[in-house]
Structure 1
Amino acid sequence: MTTLIRGGLVIGPVSAQHLDVLIDGERIVALLAPGDTSLAADLASSVEEVIDATGKYVVPGGVDAHTHMELPFGGTFASDTFETGTRAAAHGGTTTIVDFAVQRAGERVQDGLAAWHEKARGNCAIDYAFHQIIGGVDEESLKAMDELVSEGITSFKLFMAYPGVFYSDDGQILRAMQTAAGNGSMIMMHAENGTAIDVLVAQALARGETSPRYHGLTRPWETEEEATHRAIMLARITGAPLYIVHMSAKQAVETLAAARGEGWNVFGETCPQYLYLSLEEQLSAPGFEGAKWVCSTPLRARQEGHQDELWRYLRTGDLSVVSTDHCPFCFKEQKELGVGDFSKIPNGIGSVEHRMDLLYQGVVDGRISLTRWVEICCTTPARMFGLHPKKGEIVPGADADVVIYDPQARTHISVETHHMNMDHSAWEGYEIAGGVDTVLSRGRVIVQKGDYLGSAGHGQFLRRGLSSYLT
């Protein structure tokens, strides 16, 4: 099928131009200047659909490089399946996710990956890829890291938190980083000092401090900054590239920025919740309501200026990517597992449907530019994780993952209107000055003016290459 998107402002990572986008089948084949009918005339007989984007932005489909569909955590599972989660992502203008396959201690890495393939296969509305969590660093898992690179799994996540579940000590991290340095893959790090946090949690509970706000108070910024520094030092020793996930503390990002200033291959990601939400306003909500916003790393105090500083680091480029860490849990029966003990609240916030909108609000508010919006939501995550140029940019030869975004629309976020499998919204009542109009995934319209036209199974597994920033 041949489609012409006409009249829109095409936005890339460095420029915005009025261009028409010609799509043939699943690929973008040409960008045409307005009024240039030469190529369009030749193909006029085969153009089957014309989409009018006049007055709207034409942007690449969003790439969310950090999601957790169906993740087992805290005695339950993330409430979005690959079917519901990717459908919600599509509604929000995201056309590619990179989810995390999980290997737990005592399990073969390959078995964990196979389980995630089984969960996702035939169920996704949009294209998907996997990172691999290494839950037990040993000789077998190190060998598996080399093997998985050839299968398109080119990034591996380690945890400095959650002792007894995912935690790796410094020696294990060092060995995994040495392996990554040898095979060209990316190490992703959950950087919090988990052993120190466990002591603080136990002490808080012993004092009777059990409400959700203590989740944040027992994970102070020092535990994130210290772990960030330690991870960077281990990366320097080994020469491995390092990508630190869900950064929330300004001090941790300052440490990252200093290493980047010295020329080290270290990168940082933040999430919408750390740009907008706070310990005082959400995590400290009355009663048990704050459980809705329990995530790790935690929401930080607004009075300490973390949110404004994260926006500044997005502008300077020291924070490279905004992902969601989408890990949704329902309030009833899931978050409520932690009533009377905040440490038992499943950690996670649902945002996969709202990332593009929330970051566009940053454009409206003058915090970032239109091109930076596209860069951090689409192009950089695709480049960072071996999906570019197939994904992340509107250029000839790329997949026809295209979002038509209407700056004149208004998006009201609510549990009543979202498409995620959750009984509440972390973003209830948020108003966005803009909204998704039409979404194409590999040339197929899957969302149009709020109507879902896609289907489970349309999404394909993506074998990723090495990071564009390291090759």
Structure 2
Amino acid sequence: MSLLIRGGTIVTAERMARADVLCADGIITAIGPDLEAPGGAVVVDAEAAFVMPGGIDPHTHMELPFMGTVASEDFYTGTAAGLAGGTTMIIDFVIPGPTESPLDAYHIWRGRATKASADYSFHVAITGWSERVHAEMGILAQRHGVNSFKHFMAYKGAIMVDDGVLLNSFARALELGAMPTVHAENGEAVFHLQRSLLAAGITGPAGHALSRPPAVEGEAAERAITIANVIGTPVYIVHVSTEQAAAAIARARATGQRVFGEVLAQHLVIDESVYHHPDPAFAAAHVMSPPFRAKHHQNALWAGLASGQLQTTATDHCCFCAPQKAAGRDDFTLIPNGTGGIEDRMSVLWHHGVRSGRLTAQEFVRITSTNTAQIFNIHPRKGSIAVGSDADIVVWDGAALRRISASTHHQNVDFNVFEGMEVTGVARHTIAGGALVFTEGDLRAVRGAGRYIERPCFTPAVPRPAALDSLVRGA
């Protein structure tokens, strides 16, 4: 099937130019002015609109078993909601238990994802260390296209790993040419503060933020970056929410270390006041980790995106409905952590980034698509408008208005953290795999149409760790 996007202005990370885009058999086959539409082709009107690479959300959790329940969003509903907002691919997470097989868990998640309506890939979490984990990291990387491994420095007693696991796993990732990624919060400190707050009678959602102050994120980010430097591997820090963590990344990058930082759309516009709302259910609906922060942290995050010190934006899309959140009514540590956002990320970033003057349209493309594709080695297949790239495209109306609400969103959750926010910038049409899957408010997502995208590792290289350089110099 052929599809012609006519009359729009192409925006990529490198350029802006008015041109038509012709797609056939799921890829972009021609770009240029006044292209002819083949017989039977679908013609998409992009007049007065931008034609951009479809968004890639590098951090989602569809149907995740977590904290005694399962996220309400499955791979079909979540990816369909993403298509409605201009996101055409996700990178989700395989999370085995500490004694479980990462490879077995990967196959379980692959089975869950067969219903996806958009393309998907997986990071695989390393939650314990053994010879089996060492071997299975190799199998995942070399046979299944997994080039990133996740490490949780939080959630003591569940999936938190210690420095020994980080050192072993980072070294193995380096051997494979894979990217270690890190949830940076000092889990021991969080656990201590949780116990102290509960003992003091602070049991409501406000305790969640108090138990995870900015310092615990800053310390963990510094530690992860230091371990990566010792090993000689790049590292990717997920959901950076504080000026301390952003500064740690900037300092490391200034020395030439390969450190990447991800920001959630939610952390850019929502602050910690939500935890003091008079309705405990409202406050609980905002419980996620890291929590929402004081407003001044938002300035550091925007500055990091504008300067290039922070590279990607995500949502950590992990939805739990009100009855699930109510499990922590009398103990904030039992509130399932997570909020939604996959449908709204692009609009929120356009409105508060591009329309406000913080970002250019090309920077918007970089942080919503291209940088993720490059960091995780699927560019230019993804994240680009180029001949030969996948036909994952959003026709973006930068002047259209919409009001975000749970009553109108496509996400399978009864709450929206952006509720009532009026944003300028919406997906007019979304094309995924060359098919028109969202057009002028009509969602046409097809269950099971999404493909698993293998992400090849980079060429393995094992440079001498910085610690050995110091020893040699000392000798």
TM-score (norm 2): 0.94
Asked if 2 retains the 8 angstrom alpha-carbon contact of 1:383 and 1:469, the reply is no
Q: Distance in 1 between matches of 2:65 and 2:43?
A: 44
Write out aligned runs for 1:164-243 (5 A). 164-243=157-236
1:127 aligns with 2:119: yes
Provide the residue aligned with 1:409 in structure 2. 400
Asked if 2 retains the 8 angstrom alpha-carbon contact of 1:388 and 1:468, the reply is no
Asked if 2 retains the 8 angstrom alpha-carbon contact of 1:25 and 1:443, the reply is yes
Amino acid at match of 1:321: T
Q: Distance in 2 between matches of 1:154 and 1:298?
A: 28
Match of 2:416 among 422, 425, 433: 425
Match of 2:336 among 346, 353, 358: 346
Provide the residue aligned with 2:469 in structure 1. none
Alpha-carbon spacing, 1:54–1:468, altered in 2? closer, same or farther (3 Å): farther
Amino acid at match of 1:393: S
Any stretches of 5+ residues in structure 2 without a counterpart?
Answer: 463-475
Alpha-carbon spacing, 1:45–1:62, altered in 2? closer, same or farther (3 Å): closer
- % identity of equivalent residues: 41
Amino acid at match of 1:338: G
1:157 aligns with 2:132: no
Match of 1:102 among 95, 99, 107: 95
Provide the residue aligned with 2:129 in structure 1. 137
Match of 1:307 among 298, 306, 310: 298
Q: Distance in 2 between matches of 1:234 and 1:124?
A: 36
Deviation, 1:468, is 9.8
SS of match in other structure, 1:211: coil
Match of 2:69 among 68, 76, 82: 76
Amino acid at match of 1:424: F
Deviation, 1:163, is 1.3
1:324 aligns with 2:315: yes
Q: Distance in 1 between matches of 2:410 and 2:381?
A: 27
Alpha-carbon spacing, 1:13–1:469, altered in 2? closer, same or farther (3 Å): farther
Amino acid at match of 2:331: D
Asked if 2 retains the 8 angstrom alpha-carbon contact of 1:212 and 1:291, the reply is yes
Q: Distance in 2 between matches of 1:469 and 1:459?
A: 29
Any stretches of 5+ residues in structure 1 without a counterpart?
Answer: none
Alpha-carbon spacing, 1:24–1:469, altered in 2? closer, same or farther (3 Å): farther
Amino acid at match of 1:89: G
Provide the residue aligned with 1:285 in structure 2. 277
4+ aligned runs moved over 4 Å, structure 1: 467-471
Please list the CA deviations of residues 243-271 of structure 1 after superposition, one character each: whole Å capped at 9, or x if unmatched. 00001011111011000000001110010
Provide the residue aligned with 1:16 in structure 2. 16
Provide the residue aligned with 1:298 in structure 2. 291
Provide the residue aligned with 2:346 in structure 1. 356
Please list the CA deviations of residues 153-183 of structure 1 after superposition, one character each: whole Å capped at 9, or x if unmatched. 1100011111111111101110101101111
Asked if 1 retains the 8 angstrom alpha-carbon contact of 2:119 and 2:450, the reply is yes
TM-score (norm 1): 0.95
Deviation, 1:218, is 1.1
Provide the residue aligned with 1:454 in structure 2. 445
Q: Distance in 2 between matches of 1:220 and 1:373?
A: 29
RMSD: 1.5
SS of match in other structure, 1:174: helix
Alpha-carbon spacing, 1:470–1:358, altered in 2? closer, same or farther (3 Å): farther
Write out aligned runs for 1:110-121 (5 A). 110-121=103-114
Alpha-carbon spacing, 1:69–1:188, altered in 2? closer, same or farther (3 Å): same
Amino acid at match of 2:329: V
Asked if 2 retains the 8 angstrom alpha-carbon contact of 1:386 and 1:468, the reply is no
Asked if 1 retains the 8 angstrom alpha-carbon contact of 2:175 and 2:461, the reply is no
Deviation, 1:45, is 4.5
Please list the CA deviations of residues 13-43 of structure 1 after superposition, one character each: whole Å capped at 9, or x if unmatched. 022111111112211011103x4xxxx35xx
Asked if 1 retains the 8 angstrom alpha-carbon contact of 2:265 and 2:315, the reply is yes
Asked if 2 retains the 8 angstrom alpha-carbon contact of 1:383 and 1:468, the reply is no
Provide the residue aligned with 2:468 in structure 1. none
Provide the residue aligned with 2:140 in structure 1. 148
Aligned length: 459
Asked if 2 retains the 8 angstrom alpha-carbon contact of 1:103 and 1:136, the reply is no
Q: Distance in 2 between matches of 1:87 and 1:45?
A: 28
Deviation, 1:236, is 0.6
Asked if 2 retains the 8 angstrom alpha-carbon contact of 1:412 and 1:430, the reply is yes
Asked if 2 retains the 8 angstrom alpha-carbon contact of 1:70 and 1:81, the reply is yes
Deviation, 1:469, is 13
Please list the CA deviations of residues 187-207 of structure 1 after superposition, one character each: whole Å capped at 9, or x if unmatched. 000110001110001000000
Q: Distance in 2 between matches of 1:310 and 1:77?
A: 30
Match of 1:91 among 72, 84, 89: 84
Q: Distance in 2 between matches of 1:468 and 1:278?
A: 41
Asked if 1 retains the 8 angstrom alpha-carbon contact of 2:8 and 2:50, the reply is yes
Q: Distance in 1 between matches of 2:107 and 2:445?
A: 26
Amino acid at match of 1:212: P
Asked if 2 retains the 8 angstrom alpha-carbon contact of 1:249 and 1:306, the reply is yes
Alpha-carbon spacing, 1:214–1:242, altered in 2? closer, same or farther (3 Å): same
Asked if 2 retains the 8 angstrom alpha-carbon contact of 1:72 and 1:78, the reply is yes
Asked if 1 retains the 8 angstrom alpha-carbon contact of 2:174 and 2:460, the reply is no
Please list the CA deviations of residues 95-140 of structure 1 after superposition, one character each: whole Å capped at 9, or x if unmatched. 000100111112111111111011111x111011111011212221
SS of match in other structure, 1:393: coil
